[in-house]
Amino acid sequence: MKRYLVPNDYMADPAVHVFNGRLYIYPSHDWESGIPENDNGDHFNMKDYHVFSTDDPMTGEIIDHGMVLSTDDIPWAGRQLWDCDVAEKDGKYYMYFPLKDKNDTFRIGVAIADRPEGPFVPQPDPIRGSYSIDPAILCEDGKYYMYFGGLWGGQLQRYRDNKSLEAATFPADDEPGIPARVVRLSDDMLQFAEEPKPVVVVDEQGKPLTAGDNTRRFFEASWMHKYNGKYYFSYSTGDTHQLCYAIGDNPYGPFTYQGVILTPVVGWTTHHAIVEYKGKWYLFHHDSVPSGGLTWLRSLKVCELEYDAQGRIKTIDGMD
């Protein structure tokens, strides 16, 4: 069983967390742009965030808490307020969002709220040294880690060793693929506490997945959750439209590839969150069925997620 969560609006790229015993959903918000579709993602017109909550994702009421942040609120804003994530620390809620600055370069900003439903007040500047898209936060033993990065329109190919390149480059098909990044956040939750590190996904022989292995290698949409003491790093393969996952023993990895969580859906992108709530596991994602297949007008979905006895995630059919 799958459910569309916000049938009367186009929401995508969900981040989902349990705060105060309730599920909170933080999606991006799709608007029609009138721009032809291209690999840079210029056709995506996201300019604000809404927050949703529920006490039962499959059958309960989905409450829209309204618009909680807009590009108009952010001093350094250029365009395209893509997917975000939210973390709680000491009674404050920190929203991490990617946004193109006035030079059309993605940075990651922070906005703060007193409640999980917002509204969120942005900091005057982006995080120093931040780049690319898709921030996802893991809280572990009082420390907070951000996973981020995305290829093509997400601009990750413009960087090596956290420094921008004069010209974007992609590795050869037989070379290791461009990895996501992970970085520990500062105690005040507003900056990086260290240099971002590569999130290496390896095959069964311990070799990094290659750039040409595009049915398994990382493209975008990092998410991290724990199950039975293991760290599950999940992500989208982008141009092959699958959600995959890899397992590691610590937040930094390496992570060994395991398989496919979700097969391709209607629409180009696949972006997700995995969360446990009231003893069940759920996969939140999106597709473009309600818009008639328009890849830039996507709709939130949810379904239950299951593990087998060995802790492997059972593959879900994206066309169901």
Query: 111-125: per-residue pLDDT in tens?
Result: 999 999 999 999 999
Instruction: Taking residues 151-180, report their average pLDDT.
Output: 96
With respect to residue 161, please indicate whether it lies within any of the assigned structural domains. Answer: yes
DSSP 20-70: TTEEEEEEEE-B---PPP-TT-TT-B--EEEEEEES-TTTS--EEEEEEEE
Residue type at 312 in one-letter notation: R
Q: Residue 32: is its pLDDT beyond 90?
A: no
User: In this predicted structure, what is the pLDDT of residue 221?
Assistant: 98
Exposure on the CB side of residue 183, measured as CA atoms within 13 A: 24
With respect to residue 173, please indicate whether it lies within any of the assigned structural domains. Answer: yes
With respect to residue 291, please indicate whether it lies within any of the assigned structural domains. Answer: yes
- List the end-to-end C-alpha distance of the chain, in Å, as a whole number: 8
**What is the rounded average pLDDT for all residues in the chain?**
96
When pLDDT is cut at 50, 70 and 90, the band that residue 237 belongs to is very high
With respect to residue 35, please indicate whether it lies within any of the assigned structural domains. Answer: yes
Residues labelled as active-site residues? 13, 220
Instruction: Taking residues 174-188, report their average pLDDT.
Output: 98
With respect to residue 162, please indicate whether it lies within any of the assigned structural domains. Answer: yes
Q: In the numeric block, which tokens belong to residue 275?
A: 């969360």
Cβ atoms of 51 and 26 closer than 8 Å: yes
Q: Residue 52: is its pLDDT beyond 70?
A: yes
User: In this predicted structure, what is the pLDDT of residue 23?
Assistant: 98
pLDDT in tens, 124-145: 999 999 999 999 999 999 999 9
Q: In the numeric block, which tokens belong to residue 186?
A: 């500062």
Cβ atoms of 96 and 107 closer than 8 Å: no
Q: Residue 34: is its pLDDT beyond 80?
A: no
CA 183 vs CA 69, 132, 144, 194: distances in Å: 24, 13, 9, 6
Domain count, the chain: 1
Q: What is the CATH number of the domain that holds 31?
A: 2.115.10.20
Cβ atoms of 32 and 297 closer than 8 Å: yes
Cβ atoms of 307 and 225 closer than 8 Å: no
Q: Residue 256: is its pLDDT beyond 80?
A: yes
Residue ranges making up the domain that contains 35: 2-305
pLDDT in tens, 265-287: 999 889 999 999 999 999 999 99
DSSP state of 178: P
Rg of the chain in Å (alpha carbons): 18
Cβ atoms of 144 and 138 closer than 8 Å: yes
With respect to residue 310, please indicate whether it lies within any of the assigned structural domains. Answer: no
When pLDDT is cut at 50, 70 and 90, the band that residue 42 belongs to is confident
User: In this predicted structure, what is the pLDDT of residue 35?
Assistant: 67
With respect to residue 318, please indicate whether it lies within any of the assigned structural domains. Answer: no
Q: Residue 83: is its pLDDT beyond 80?
A: yes
- Taking every pair of Cα atoms in the chain, the longest distance, rounded to a whole number of angstroms, is 51
